[in-house]
Amino acid sequence: MACLIFFPLQQLVAVIITQSELDSFIQPAQSQPHRFLGMHPATRAGENGLVVRAYLDNAAQCAVIDARSPRKKPFPLEKLHGSGFFEGFIPGATKAFPYRLCVTHYDGSVTEQVDPYAFLPTLTEEDIYLINEGTDHRIYQKLGAFARIHQEVPGVSFAVWAPSARRVSVVGDFNKWDGRYHMARMLGASGIWEIFIPGLEAGTRYKYEILGPGDPTPFLKSDPYAVYFEPPPNNASIVYDLAGHNWADSQWLKNRARTDWQKKPVSIYELHLGSWKRVPAEENRPLTYRELAEQLPPYLQEMGFTHVEFMPPAEHPFAGSWGYQVTGFFAPTHRFGTPHDFMHLVDALHQADIGVIIDWVPAHFPRDAFALAGFDGTHLYEHADPRQGAHLDWGTLIFNYGRLEVRAFLIASALAWFDRFHIDGLRVDAVASMLYLDYSRKEGEWIPNKFGGRENLEAIEFLRRTNEIIHHYHPGALTIAEESTSFSGVTRPVAEHGLGFDLKWNMGWMHDTIKYFSQDPLFRKWHHNQLTFGMLYQYSEKFVQVFSHDEVVHGKGSMLNKMPQPDISGRARNLRALYAFMWTWPGKKTLFMGSEFGQYAEWKYDASLDWHLLEYLDHEGIRRVVRDLNQLYRADPSIAALEQQPEGFEWIEANDADNSVFAYLRRGENNASTWMIVANFTPVERSYRVGVPTAGIWEEILNTDAIEYGGAGAGNFGQSTAKEIPWRNRPFSLDICLPSMSVVIFRQNQSRTTTPPKKKRR
C-alpha cells in the first residue's frame, strides 16, 4: 500500500547539517556519506533525538515510516536542496529503529524505499585486514558487486579498492548515472569503499564514479572485479549472479587431482574462440560458448587432443588484441555469451575428457581510461615511473608487483578461473617480460633492482607465490610459462628456488625447427645441427613443444606455407614429416588451430578457419597424421611417462647430415615400450640401415608417406625384422625402406625380440 504524506504549510524546523557539509554532498566530494545520511542520534537545541537524512533522485517529498508500526503517520523530512537532499529531526527518540522512506516523485507517484544508508558494512574487520595484508587469496569474494540479502533486505553490495580517491560513487541506470545519490564510504583507512544498495538485482549496469586526489572532475571506471561486462564502447560492468550452473564434472576434477601430468600425455589444441568457426549466414558471427560446447568436444575427441587452450577468454575491449589487452580479469568476454555459457562450455569439455587451459595475462594491462589505468587518480595498479610501469613494445602498463593489494588482485584472478569456471590450467603470457627489468629497454630506460641487477625481484616472487597457491588449492592443475629466455629454474619447484611452473614453452626448439624446415631440402645438410642442438638443453626444463598463433600471423606465413616446396602436395608431405618429428620428440605438445589440417592462409582473428580445405587429401592427410600421432601418443602412456627424463631418449643416428636423416629411440617407463623414429628430410627414397638394441620384429606403427595421408605409399609393409648385423655400435640392425620426405615410427614387438647373447668370461 502506498504511503501518504501530509506536510504542514508552515516552515519546518531549522536544519542540523551545516552548509559546508551539505555542499560536500551537492558538489559532490563526500568521503563518509554514512556519517550524515541515514538515521543517527542527534541533539537539537539541547533536545536529544534522531536525525534522518536522505539524498534521493526524482523526489519532490520524503518522509520516514517506522517499519515497526507501518500504520503510524510518516514523519516528514525537509527538502534542503533541489537535487533531493532531505533532513528531519525526530525529537525524543534516542535509539535507531528500522525504517523506510516514503517518497513522492515529481509525477505524483508515491513509493516506499529502503534507505541505502541504513546498513552496516558488508565487509568485516577481518576481511579488511586480510585484504590490506594481501593474504586474502579469494579477495574476489569480497570486492566487486554481489546480489545478496543483507540485514534481511535484498539488494547489491559494492566494494572497490581506491585508496587515494576523495569520493567514490556507484552510478548506473538506477540513478541516471548521477554520482550524488549513491556515494560509498571508505572503511577506515583501508582504501576500500563500500555501499549496499537495496532493491538492485542481477542485470544492473554500473560503474564507479571516482573523484581523484587532485582533479576536481570525477571520472568513471568499470569494476576491476566484475564478472560480466556490456560491449564497447560503454563497457559498463553488469551485476551477475554466478550461482545456478549444475556442474557435471566431479569425476573429471577428482581424476585431475590425482594426476601427475609430467608422466601423462599432454597434447594441447590452442584455439581462438572468435575464429575457430563462424556462421557466414548470420553476418559471419562467431560461434557462441554454447555452440562451441556442441561442436568442439567431439572434434577434439576425434583428433585425440588431451587439452584445449583458449587464447585469453577474459574481457577485453579491442578484438584485434586477440584478448591479450585485458580489462576484465575475472570476466569471460561477453562476445560469446554469459559467464554461465562459458561454464557450460568448460563442463561439456570435461565430460568429453578434455582439459581446459586458458591464456592468463598478468604481465601488463591496457591504458583504456575506463579500466585499471590511473584507477583512483593515481598510479594504483601500475608503477608511476614509466621506466618500470610502461611496456614499450605493446604500449601497455606494467603491474606493480611490489604492492600487496595488486599481487592479491592478480592471484585472486588466477584462482577465480579455477574456482568459478573449473579450468584446469593457465598458460601465463609474456613471462620473460616480467622477469627482467630491462626487457626490451635500452640503457637508461630501466631501473635496477635493490642489488643492482636486472631481475624483477617482485615479479619473480609474485610468480612463485601464484604457482604455490594454485597448486595448493587445485592439485593436478597445470601452469605453463611462455618464457623465451634462459632464465634458470622456470619449471623447478619453488622449494628448490624455482618459479614453480609445471611446463615451459620450448621457444628455442620451435625457432630452430622452423628454420630447418623452411630450408630447401638441398641445403638442409648445412643446418643439420638445428634439429640436434635442442637435445643439449632438452632436460634443463620441463618443456612443451609448440607451434602457436604467433607463428602464423604478421607475414610469417601459415605452417603449410613455411614449407619450401613449390606445390601444395610437396608442402603437405613436408608438414606431415615435421609434425611426426614434433610428436616423437620428448616433451608435451601444443598446436594452434588450423595448423592441424594445413591452413593455407595466415590466421585472421575475425574470420573462420578454412574448413573447406578438408575436401582435399593434401589437407585432410595432414589432419589424419595429427590425429593418428595423438592417438599413438595417448595409447602408449609409458612413453609419455619418461618424456621429461633423459633415459626416455637415445640417439641412434644424429650425424648423417649428408642425407638429412635422423634416427632415435623413445623408451617407455619400466621398459614397457620402445619406439624407433627414423626421419628422412630430403625428397629421396632410401634403403637405409639403422642399428637397434634388440633383434626380432619391429612394427611400423606410423608412416607419414602412407597413401591415406596423401603420400606415395612407400614403406615396410607394416614391419621390419632386425638381424644380428652390428651397426653403429649396436648389436642388431634393420634394413628399412625410408620414404622420401617422411618420418617412419617403429615399435619393438615385445613378444618377438631377442637380446644380445652374454659374452662368456674367459
Whole-number Cα distances in Å, 348 to 314, 344, 494, 716: 19, 6, 34, 42
Distance CA 72, CA 67 (A): 9
In this structure, are residues 359 and 549 in contact, taking their beta carbons and an 8 Å threshold?
A: no
Burial of 83 (0-12, 13-18, 19+ CB in 10 A): middle
Cα 361 to chain centroid distance, Å, stands at: 6
Whole-number Cα distances in Å, 712 to 570, 740, 742: 11, 9, 10
In this structure, are residues 656 and 686 in contact, taking their beta carbons and an 8 Å threshold?
A: no
Take residue 426 and report the three cell numbers written for it.
593457465
Characterize 220-243 residue by residue with b for buried, 16 or more Cβ atoms within 10 angstroms of its Cβ, and e for exposed: bbbbbbbbbbeeeeebbbbbbbbe
3-state secondary structure of 304: coil
In this structure, are residues 339 and 242 in contact, taking their beta carbons and an 8 Å threshold?
A: yes
Instruction: Return the H-helix or E-strand segment holding 347.
Output: helix 339-351
Give Dmax (Cα) for the chain: 127
Strands, DSSP E only, in 136-257? 144-150, 153-161, 167-172, 185-186, 192-198, 205-211, 219-221, 237-238
Question: Which residues are known to be catalytic?
Answer: 429, 482
3-state secondary structure of 700: strand
Distance CA 162, CA 501 (A): 32
Q: Give 660-668 contacts, CB < 8 A, sequence gap 24+.
A: 660/521, 660/524, 660/525, 660/528, 661/686, 661/688, 661/738, 662/531, 662/532, 662/581, 663/690, 664/584, 665/693, 666/584, 666/586, 666/639, 666/642, 667/639, 667/642, 668/636, 668/638, 668/639, 668/641, 668/642
Helices (H), 588-722: 617-635, 637-641
In this structure, are residues 493 and 501 in contact, taking their beta carbons and an 8 Å threshold?
A: no
Q: What is the dihedral of CA 509, 308, 743, 663, to 10 degrees?
A: 50
Cα 12 to chain centroid distance, Å, stands at: 59
